[in-house]
Amino acid sequence: MEVRGLRKQFGTCFDRPALSRVEGLSMNGLTLNSYPFGLSLSKASESITKNLTRGTVLCVATLISLIALAPARLHAQEEKLLDDLNQLPEAERQSRLIAGARKEGAVTWYVAMNRPYAQDLINAFQADYPYIKVNSLTGSGGSLLNRALTESRARSYQFDVFNTRSMTVSTLRKAGAIMRYRSPLRANLRDGFADKEGYLNGIFATPLVLLFNTKMISRKEAPSAIEDLLQPKWAGKMAIDDESYDWLAALIDYYGEAKGLELATKLGQQKLQVRRGPSLIAQLVAAGEFAVQIDSHHQEAVNKKKAGAPIDYHFPQPFVPAKSLIPIYMSSHPPHPHAAALLADFLMGRKGQEIMQGHGRWVGHKNIATKGPDDVGERKVMIPSAEKWGDRYNELIGWYNKLLLRQGG
């Protein structure tokens, strides 16, 4: 948004000395001419108001409103750029993305993922696109979410793509930090891995299984269904993570709110052993501290079993709960939109998905499966609804603490 560009329309609103003073404003080295990337509205408004001649209030209001709308317009332009490319035939689309990415030369990925796993993906991507440097920032989902929101508020847009839990989609949308990315590769994703609008493009999710110690109970005796957990013989012998909110969300999504909360209430009366961290709980089950873990991460169970630990697991019936989806979000103002699209496509595409599968992930690509007893197969997997729980997450936490952890009466 340039003040100079508005001279013809609003030139009478300012005297020449005042206009030059307004145009000279800067913040962090960025002038009003590049407003959406640095200058705050309050500072722009204050300076412009001080330098106005009388009788120009309407002009000022119009100018400030145009400045305020600039980021939204830029957001719409970038979304349209990629939407237009996504309508092209596959070969032409790829050619145009590559041409743009060559000029951009880099892409920034905020990575909420184990660093060695992320590096495997980065190495493979850069092998395919050696002219694109991946600048990655790894951290916890919460810390990276706060960073993305802070940058959005400051209109200092640094990242291109960002992966974290899908429950954050409502927060990021309301903040204007992400935009829709309707890649044609969405057609290859499993049910539940993509939303209708295009904000969520899932790369993997984590099924939650019933882990048990094989020295304490046999496979036949171990609980294999959600309602088996309510049997009196399991009271005091089952462990659960103190923040397994997605497990409860999946329960409610499958059974409906009334029955789901009823089951959670009854399960909470089973004297659950509560600990922090699913990996720690799995270790304690293997050590014989508890007989059963009701929310074990599938890949953790598989890896421990292969390593020879005295554990086994069941996929629960009639559905398999899952931790919330991990999507790849597209920044609302990606500094490198073409390279960002190529990286997002790589993470959704077969090559990236096969790498993640090799890490033990249950990936989004519907044509990739782990064959054998550890494959989820055609089982019903409940991925908590991001649209539903994004705005009700505090309510979900309250139910979890009250019903399952028996806190607060």
Q: Are residues 158 and 13 in the same domain?
A: no
Structural domain that includes position 24: 4-73
Question: Residue 53 has which token pair?
Answer: 């001649």
Q: Are residues 194 and 233 in the same domain?
A: no
Whole-prediction pTM: 0.77
Assigned domain for 193 exists? yes
Domain stops at, among 48, 73, 98: 73
Long-range contacts of 260-263 (CB under 8 A, 24+ apart): 261/399, 261/403, 263/226, 263/227, 263/230
HSE-up of residue 172 (Cα within 13 Å, Cβ side): 31
Assigned domain for 259 exists? yes
Spatial distance between the Cα atoms of 59 and 66, rounded to a whole number of angstroms: 11
Return the axis-axis angle of helices 41-50 and 57-86, rounded to nearest 10°. Answer: 150
Spatial distance between the Cα atoms of 282 and 211, rounded to a whole number of angstroms: 8
Assigned domain for 355 exists? yes
Q: Are residues 276 and 311 in the same domain?
A: yes
Q: Are residues 156 and 200 in the same domain?
A: yes
Assigned domain for 381 exists? no
Q: Are residues 122 and 149 in the same domain?
A: yes
Assigned domain for 371 exists? no
Assigned domain for 377 exists? no
Which three-class secondary structure state does DSSP give residue 135? strand
Tens-digit pLDDT profile for the chain (409 aa)?
444 444 444 444 444 444 434 433 333 333 333 333 333 444 444 544 455 555 454 554 544 444 444 444 556 788 999 999 999 999 999 999 999 999 999 999 999 998 999 999 999 999 999 999 999 999 988 899 999 999 999 999 999 999 999 999 999 999 999 999 999 999 999 989 999 999 999 999 999 999 999 999 999 999 999 999 999 999 999 999 999 999 999 999 999 999 999 999 999 999 999 999 999 999 999 999 999 999 999 999 999 999 999 999 999 999 999 998 999 999 999 999 999 999 999 999 999 999 999 998 999 999 998 777 888 988 999 999 998 998 898 999 999 999 999 986 5
Pair 238, 291: CB distance under 8 Å: yes
Pair 214, 192: CB distance under 8 Å: no
Please, which residues have CB within 8 angstroms of residue 194's CB and are 6 or more apart in sequence?
186, 200, 201, 202, 364
Question: In the chain, how many domains are there?
Answer: 3
Assigned domain for 409 exists? no
Q: Are residues 9 and 147 in the same domain?
A: no
Phi, psi of 80 (to 5 degrees): -65, -40
Q: Are residues 169 and 134 in the same domain?
A: yes
Q: Are residues 226 and 251 in the same domain?
A: yes
Q: Are residues 115 and 138 in the same domain?
A: yes
Spatial distance between the Cα atoms of 283 and 307, rounded to a whole number of angstroms: 12
Q: Are residues 102 and 194 in the same domain?
A: yes
| CATH code of the domain containing 353 | 3.40.190.10
Domain stops at, among 35, 55, 73: 73
Q: What angle do CA 259, 395, 166 make, to 5 degrees?
A: 95
Q: Are residues 296 and 335 in the same domain?
A: no
Assigned domain for 98 exists? yes
Please, which residues have CB within 8 angstroms of residue 127's CB and are 6 or more apart in sequence?
none
Question: Residue 271 has which token pair?
Answer: 């004297």
Q: Are residues 105 and 121 in the same domain?
A: yes
